[in-house]
């Protein structure tokens, strides 16, 4: 009776050992199973997109826009089934952009190429920086993925300017001073500064003129705006000179420092004219005045002779 009472406990122990052995056998079999074959994805699908280059510079001018091209690649790792991909580009400055192609359909996880074109408007200031963004959306079997890529768009400076003077021709009395007022209009797309000079200074000094500038530098002129006013003063020779029909020319020259910093030469010349009126003939001007004096003498002689002839005729007639 005592022996038979232990039989259920032994049976239960054997059953527990058998269950444990079966569980370990199943676990071993699962670890030993080979990886799925036939290219069936086993990971989580992942959308990857990139743009090259990461930044690019647009060349614009007052009359032409700039065009930039970016190359992109996109793929879906561990893709499952057909992938419908859409691409949408935008620039935070509002510039036009376009992806080509803008949609793709594929079934693999290889890289697929696309191109993005960005149009930068003409005369865009060099200080404006745009951020290009391409948003990608991939739809597969039972899932949707989104991702984006970005690139920077800058604008290359260009340098242009114009000299402006309200009255480039003045008449003055001997030993007086002619004063011209000038401004510089910055027609480039970047802040610029300018060097000023009188290119024929030595020639003017040899003729007795004294020409001075109120400033040899103009700085910080914003694109599309005028500079502050500067002056060119021309003091006529103090000694008596002969007034000629040809005015004296003063050649004002300005150079863009911004262009110079990029090893470019951008200059403008502006001729100023001054006429000295009421001048007297001095010792040095006698030679130049002789032709004029000769004409005056001839006219005087002709008038005198004519007067004598008229008087004699009247006298002979008894008038």
pLDDT at 38: 42
pLDDT at 7: 46
pTM of structure = 0.69
Q: Which domain holds residue 142?
A: 46-155
For residue 139, the number of C-alpha atoms closer than 13 Å in the C-beta half-sphere is: 4
pLDDT at 242: 58
Task: State how far the Cα of 319 lies from the Cα of 316, in Å rounded to an integer.
Answer: 8
pLDDT at 81: 86
Cα 141 to its chain centre, rounded Å, is: 48
Domain count of the fold of the chain: 2
Q: Are residues 99 and 181 in the same domain?
A: no
pLDDT at 41: 54
- Domain contains 189: yes
pLDDT at 30: 44
- Domain contains 165: yes
pLDDT at 152: 98
Q: Are residues 137 and 167 in the same domain?
A: no
Positions of the chain with pLDDT lower than 70, given as ranges: 1-42, 239-245, 278-298, 300, 302-319
- Which has the closest alpha carbon to 265: 276, 253, 274? 253
Condensed to tens digits (0 to 9), the pLDDT of residues 47-80 reads 999 999 999 999 999 999 999 999 999 999 998 8
Q: Are residues 110 and 92 in the same domain?
A: yes
3-state SS track over 20-35: HHHHHHHHHHHHCCCC
Asked which of 100, 131, 155 is the last residue of a domain, the reply is: 155
Q: The tokens of 137 are what?
A: 């959306």
Q: Are residues 89 and 113 in the same domain?
A: yes
Task: State how far the Cα of 284 lies from the Cα of 280, in Å rounded to an integer.
Answer: 11
Q: Are residues 165 and 62 in the same domain?
A: no
pLDDT at 9: 47
Q: Are residues 181 and 271 in the same domain?
A: yes
Q: The tokens of 134 are what?
A: 């391409």
- We report the CATH number of the domain holding residue 215 as 2.60.40.10
- We report the CATH number of the domain holding residue 142 as 2.60.40.2310
- Domain contains 15: no
- Domain contains 23: no
- Domain contains 24: no
């Amino acid at each position: 009776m005592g022996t038979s009472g232990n039989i259920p406990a032994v049976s239960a122990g054997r059953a527990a050992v058998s269950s444990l052995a079966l569980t370990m056998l199943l676990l071993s079999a699962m670890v030993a199973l080979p990886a799925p074959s036939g290219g069936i994805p086993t990971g989580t699908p992942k959308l990857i997109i990139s743009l090259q280059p990461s930044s690019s510079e647009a060349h614009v001018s007052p009359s032409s826009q700039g065009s930039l091209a970016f190359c992109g690649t996109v793929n879906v790792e561990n893709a499952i089934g057909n992938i419908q991909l859409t691409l949408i580009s935008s620039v935070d400055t509002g510039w036009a952009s376009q992806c080509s192609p803008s949609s793709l359909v594929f079934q693999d996880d290889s890289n697929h190429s696309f191109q993005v074109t960005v149009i930068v408007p003409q005369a865009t200031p060099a200080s404006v920086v745009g951020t290009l963004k391409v948003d990608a959306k991939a739809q597969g079997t039972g899932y949707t993925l989104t991702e984006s890529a970005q690139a920077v768009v800058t604008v290359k400076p260009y340098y242009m300017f114009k000299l402006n003077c309200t009255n480039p021709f003045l008449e003055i009395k001997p030993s007086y001073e002619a004063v011209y007022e000038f401004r510089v209009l910055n027609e480039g797309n970047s802040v610029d500064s300018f060097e000023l000079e009188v290119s024929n200074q030595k020639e003017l000094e040899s003729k007795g003129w004294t020409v001075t500038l109120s400033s040899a530098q103009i700085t910080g002129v914003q694109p599309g705006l005028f500079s502050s006013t500067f002056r060119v003063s021309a003091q006529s020779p103090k000694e008596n000179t002969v007034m000629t029909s040809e005015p004296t020319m003063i050649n004002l020259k300005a150079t863009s420092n911004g262009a110079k910093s990029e090893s470019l030469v951008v200059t403008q010349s502006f001729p100023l004219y001054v006429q000295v009126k009421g001048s007297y003939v001095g010792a040095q001007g006698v030679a130049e005045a002789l032709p004029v004096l000769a004409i005056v003498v001839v006219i005087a002689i002709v008038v005198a002779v004519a007067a004598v002839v008229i008087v004699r005729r009247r006298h002979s007639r008894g008038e």
